[in-house]
Structure 1
């Protein structure tokens, strides 16, 4: 059975644009998925990425255009400058890690948390927002308060594993055959690869 490690930041707009498509691709091909939230600031500092405020103005302007275009293309509402961004991604990441151990609609939870940030003007560092996302995705909202130490350890391990696997952005998909796909706009390519077409 193929396996996909999905590395992402919960405050990444491109993780939001991924929606539940990674899981849909995995289901089509009988693959499993592990959602591995990580600290994007740490990833950038380790892999040569430039934080948004430090990018040239032309790159920042292009990013805003691209966000608007992708939002329209995918039919997903988006505030290109959310009220609660950036925010601390760790609490929402810990909740995803805890939920994954329980089993259930992790893809839906990831999408709900990202949508809370990018479409709903909610602070995903807030415990009540996290509990609401957990509950709406069919998980016990108390997971927001459980396993924090284990979540913190997994969160740190995800960053280390990402760097070692050649990850440098979000979302980033690493397959167990060594193929890597960066970005929500490469999910179709991952689908074709798993089908043996590319």
Structure 2
């Protein structure tokens, strides 16, 4: 929700690389989110997210089920990763899922969110279902694993340095500004 503003303020460019966490979790032997597997960690994460969102002035509600089926949203994001609307679309998906509790696997919802973000819904959804996008998203998961990503949000700098979590966003932006400066 904050990355584009912070990056713009520090003149840092963003390269969006949508991926799926599910396959990464499975390779770690987890059948679901670690926040579901470890009750104390999950309870803390939920309360922490509530506090963070309150501080940012954002609504928050843990979706049911959690995690949601995000394959379609990830494919749409992968298909549009280089488009000017990708940030607006990403924010809209998170609001739909984590503020409104909507089902992000619903194609009609994805079409609405694409239109809201100023994207061509019909052609983007067609691209999301294409063989090329399916293969590309699988490759993005492999790339994420190779970069050491284990959770989201993750920020990887041009030098390969990994930062994980909302609480590391400012650190990542500052480090990226030093690299580009």
Q: TM-score normalized by structure 1? A: 0.79
Distance 2:68 2:163 in 1: 26
Structure 2, unmatched stretches of 5+, are none
Q: Secondary structure at the match of 1:32?
A: coil
Q: 2:36 aligns with which of 49, 53, 73?
A: 53
Question: Hey, what does 1:85 align to over in structure 2?
Answer: 66
State how many pairs are aligned.
175
Give, in angstroms, the shift of residue 87 of structure 1.
Answer: 2.4
1:29/1:61 Cα in 2 relative to 1: closer, same or farther (>3 Å)? closer
2:155 corresponds to 1:173: yes
2:75 corresponds to 1:94: yes
2:90 corresponds to 1:110: yes
Distance 2:29 2:164 in 1: 15
Task: Give the alignment of 1:13-52 within 5 angstroms.
Answer: 19=1, 21-47=2-28, 51-52=34-35
Greater relative CO (CA pairs within 8 A, separation 6+): 1
Q: TM-score normalized by structure 2? A: 0.86
The two structures, once aligned, show a CA RMSD in angstroms of 2.1
Q: Which has the higher strand share?
A: 1
Distance 1:182 1:192 in 2: 14
1:42/1:147 Cα in 2 relative to 1: closer, same or farther (>3 Å)? closer
Distance 1:196 1:38 in 2: 26
Q: Secondary structure at the match of 1:191?
A: helix
Give, in angstroms, the shift of residue 31 of structure 1.
Answer: 3.6
CA contact (8 A) 2:10 2:174 kept: no
Structure 1, unmatched stretches of 5+, are 1-18
